[in-house]
Structure 1
Amino acid sequence: MNTPDSKIDRLRRRAAAPLLGVLAAAVLAACSSQAAPGAGAMPPPEVSVAQVLSRPVAQWDDFTGRVAAVETVELRPRVSGYVERVAFAEGDEVEKGDLLFVIDQRPYRAALARAQAQLARARSESQLARSQDVRAEELLAASAISREEFEARRAASAQGDAEVRAAEAAVTAAQLDLQFTEVRSPIDGRAGRALVTAGNLAQADSTLLTTVVSLDPVHVYFDADEQSFLRYQALTRDGRRAADGNAVRVGLANEQGYPHKGIVDFTDNQVDPGTGTIRARAVVANPDRVFTPGLHARVQLEAAAAAEALLIDERAVLTDQDRKYVYVLGENNQAERRDIVPGRSVEGLRVVQDGLTAEDRVIVHGVQKVFFPGMPVAPTPIEMGDPAPQVQVASAEAP
């Protein structure tokens, strides 16, 4: 028979069972932790450490520019006429003197023949006048003619000589006109599209036939801001920068870095008041025809002579809001935070203007494993700029 007291006891035992389980688990956990102290502690993370690199570094400033041809010619005819032949392939490279267009030569050949005939007549008349002049001189000595007639024959001889010279000039002009019917390239370069084809009328000094641009070398124009220009002038006055012939490095949009080298050969004589910039021009060799006029170019200009600088790997630099910092290896292999003032980038490395010394060893790879300053690490020495060490994965062997 169940009494009220027995029912109450059963309810109490059911309520106490979960609490006993929790207490038992806590006791077991405590016993296991006491039995194996330090079994769950994490080992120090493996990181790569490199000595700060100290070496002379030249200062380079970055600009954007455009490629332009050294020589650009708009080819126009010197004589009028109908185009008889286009003698070049559009877009091909041409050499100075190559035939590009031929204008109908028949009218100019006829004009040359007419000028040559007039020259022959003038020479014949001049020879006759000269003979009469010589005879008149003999007759005058014998008092056979008057002084007036003698002077008239002397003037006719001089006039004949003048007419010969005029006829020779007319022949030369006709020869030039005939020569100008063959339109030739005045420079070495690449020809553009033929803007006038065979059968069309070309007006002298007016009709644009095609364009020719030189290819090697090329010019690269870029604009420097006013502050940079003033800084360059101060460096030049102090003797830390050459007055002219400064080196440049150039890279195109599809290239890594700045593989092409050149020099500055021109700087404008005034600053543009609208933009606050001054234009400069560099000369760059183009033997492989990498540059085409009109391309965008990235330009680095050597701002000052090489000076000693501290360099670290870009991957070691961390950001904390508006501050840059790195972790260096301290005593007992502990990571220490150092706030730095970074400078420009040099061949994948970052110049450090303040915050480090040449004796510091910087954590480069594995820096994301460092969670707080003073954290122990397991360092592996590398050279600054080296890639991250390869992780060795052990392969399981079959029993």
Structure 2
Amino acid sequence: MKKSLVTIAILGCLAYLTGCSESHAEAPQAQQTKVFKQPIDVASVKAYPVQAWFTYTSRLEAVEFVQLRPRVSGNIAKVNFEEGQQVNQGDVLFTLDQRPFMVRVAELEALLANSHAQLLQAKNDVKRASRLLASKSISEEEVEHRHSLLAQQQANVQATKAKLEAAKLDLAYSEVKAPISGIVSRAELTKGNTVQAGVSLLTHLVSDDYVYAYFDINERTWHQHFSQLKGDKQTNVVMQMLGEQGFNHAGVVDFVDNRIDTDTGTLRVRALFKADEQLKPGSFARIRVAANEIQKQVLVPEKAIGTDLKNRFVLVTDEHDVLQYRLVKLGERYGKMRAITHGLEPGDKIAVNGPARVGPGMPVAPQLVEIEPDNAALVMSEQAAKTLLLAKRGE
């Protein structure tokens, strides 16, 4: 009886231990079925036609720049403009004391009247001499002398006329006028100051319709990417000013130099931009110009790219929705998008927000989204050039 009870007890213990081992074996399986998958945004990458961009630095220059100096000497009687205002060609900016010039004009007008009277007398003397010579009442020498006096009086009249014209010019130059339309600077000399012709600086003027931006392309880049570039206003460029986030100003190339500088190995190129209040001569600017050829490249958001020491990578999803590490090589930046020259193919699915919250080997719950380039130019269009040309022609 005792043996049977012991046997029953042993069998019960074995059954209990077997049940515990089975429950512990099933626990990992249950945990595996409940693994959490991080929901993330993924996108299928696409290839777009793009052009390689090159960036150069420049300083803006006015199309026309004038250092205004007087053409006659005198005292400034009046300053006729407000500093920094818009002026038109022909506006009187400075007026010199005109009284000395008016006196000189009046004096020469009187001298001219006297010269005309003497000329008339000389003509009458020649006529009388001709009649007297016919009756042998005067010698030929006297006739020749009177003809000589007539010629002298004619020359005297011409000389006085020339002096009078010069005096009238000086009187006109006593009003210093704007030779171009544009923005006038401050007055360097004010009322009461004496100025010297061709020496004294009165003010500066700059044209305000267009501005130039010069930049230098090195010889190798020129032959590789810009061999077709001409100054015919058909090649578009964009410009960024200091403090701006994007390249918001559109212009055209209107000049390419005729020789490469042997000292620097560069070619001087000029871009033309329509001016506004932001584009002031002397401003620092960055110029971007697109290369000749158009290529298709994969574009991804800049935020999708991670950095691993010196490497750049993106996270791609495989067929099991697990993130994989993928090395990539970067190309040009286009707004918020970056070109990938190696490492991705169209159709690959990437984590749009990069390795911010996820990492390689992590299972995810992908949420498919669309990514498209923003307003940044991928390929230079001709519309900006046409707009600028029409504005220049006044159409």
Q: TM-score, normalised by structure 1?
A: 0.81
* Structure 2 counterpart of 1:233: 223
**1:67 aligned residue (60, 78, 83):** 60
CA RMSD between the two structures: 2.5
Partner of 2:371: helix, strand, or coil? coil
Partner of 2:320: helix, strand, or coil? helix
Provide the C-alpha distance between the structure 1 equivalents of 2:205 and 2:373, rounded to a whole number of angstroms. 48
* Structure 1 counterpart of 2:166: 173
* Structure 2 counterpart of 1:371: 359
Provide the C-alpha distance between the structure 2 equivalents of 1:303 and 1:218, rounded to a whole number of angstroms. 23
* Structure 2 counterpart of 1:109: 102
- Counterpart of 1:45, as a letter, is Q
- Counterpart of 1:213, as a letter, is V
Partner of 1:328: helix, strand, or coil? strand
Provide the C-alpha distance between the structure 2 equivalents of 1:230 and 1:65, rounded to a whole number of angstroms. 20
Q: Show the 5 A alignment for 1:245-260.
A: 245=233, 246-260=235-249
* Structure 2 counterpart of 1:361: 349
Deviations 1:176-232 (A, max 9, x none): 0001111111111111111111111111111111111112201123344x3xx3222
Residues 362 and 203 (structure 1 numbering): CA distance in 2 closer, same or farther, change over 3 Å? same
Provide the C-alpha distance between the structure 2 equivalents of 1:367 and 1:183, rounded to a whole number of angstroms. 68
**Which sits farther off after the overlay, 342-351 or 251-260?**
251-260
Provide the C-alpha distance between the structure 2 equivalents of 1:134 and 1:35, rounded to a whole number of angstroms. 140
Deviations 1:348-378 (A, max 9, x none): 21111111111222221264333224x3211
Provide the C-alpha distance between the structure 2 equivalents of 1:80 and 1:181, rounded to a whole number of angstroms. 8
Q: How many residues align?
A: 351
1:280 matches 2:273: no
Shift of 1:300: 0.8
Is the contact between residue 230 and residue 256 of structure 2 (CA under 8 Å) also seen in structure 1?
no
* Structure 1 counterpart of 2:190: 197
**Which sits farther off after the overlay, 247-256 or 205-214?**
247-256
- Counterpart of 1:243, as a letter, is K
- Counterpart of 1:258, as a letter, is F
Is the contact between residue 64 and residue 222 of structure 1 (CA under 8 Å) also seen in structure 2?
yes
* Structure 2 counterpart of 1:145: 138
Provide the C-alpha distance between the structure 2 equivalents of 1:44 and 1:78, rounded to a whole number of angstroms. 84
1:96 matches 2:80: no
Q: Show the 5 A alignment for 1:273-312.
A: 273=263, 278-286=267-275, 288-312=276-300
Residues 386 and 164 (structure 1 numbering): CA distance in 2 closer, same or farther, change over 3 Å? closer
Shift of 1:119: 0.9
Residues 386 and 177 (structure 1 numbering): CA distance in 2 closer, same or farther, change over 3 Å? closer
- Counterpart of 2:56, as a letter, is F
* Structure 2 counterpart of 1:17: none
* Structure 2 counterpart of 1:242: 229
* Structure 1 counterpart of 2:17: none
Is the contact between residue 314 and residue 354 of structure 2 (CA under 8 Å) also seen in structure 1?
no
Is the contact between residue 251 and residue 272 of structure 2 (CA under 8 Å) also seen in structure 1?
yes
Q: TM-score, normalised by structure 2?
A: 0.82
Residues 154 and 385 (structure 1 numbering): CA distance in 2 closer, same or farther, change over 3 Å? same
Provide the C-alpha distance between the structure 2 equivalents of 1:150 and 1:35, rounded to a whole number of angstroms. 142
Provide the C-alpha distance between the structure 1 equivalents of 2:151 and 2:373, rounded to a whole number of angstroms. 92
Residues 178 and 386 (structure 1 numbering): CA distance in 2 closer, same or farther, change over 3 Å? closer
Unaligned runs of 5+ residues in structure 2 are 1-19, 375-395
* Structure 2 counterpart of 1:334: 322
Is the contact between residue 70 and residue 173 of structure 2 (CA under 8 Å) also seen in structure 1?
yes
1:130 matches 2:123: yes
Residues 160 and 35 (structure 1 numbering): CA distance in 2 closer, same or farther, change over 3 Å? closer
Is the contact between residue 272 and residue 278 of structure 1 (CA under 8 Å) also seen in structure 2?
no
Provide the C-alpha distance between the structure 2 equivalents of 1:232 and 1:383, rounded to a whole number of angstroms. 37
Is the contact between residue 48 and residue 366 of structure 1 (CA under 8 Å) also seen in structure 2?
no
Deviations 1:304-325 (A, max 9, x none): 2433222111111112222211
Is the contact between residue 328 and residue 341 of structure 2 (CA under 8 Å) also seen in structure 1?
yes
Partner of 1:158: helix, strand, or coil? helix
Is the contact between residue 263 and residue 284 of structure 1 (CA under 8 Å) also seen in structure 2?
yes
Shift of 1:272: 6.8
Is the contact between residue 238 and residue 249 of structure 2 (CA under 8 Å) also seen in structure 1?
yes
**Which sits farther off after the overlay, 109-118 or 119-128?**
119-128
* Structure 2 counterpart of 1:345: 333
Unaligned runs of 5+ residues in structure 1 are 1-26, 388-399
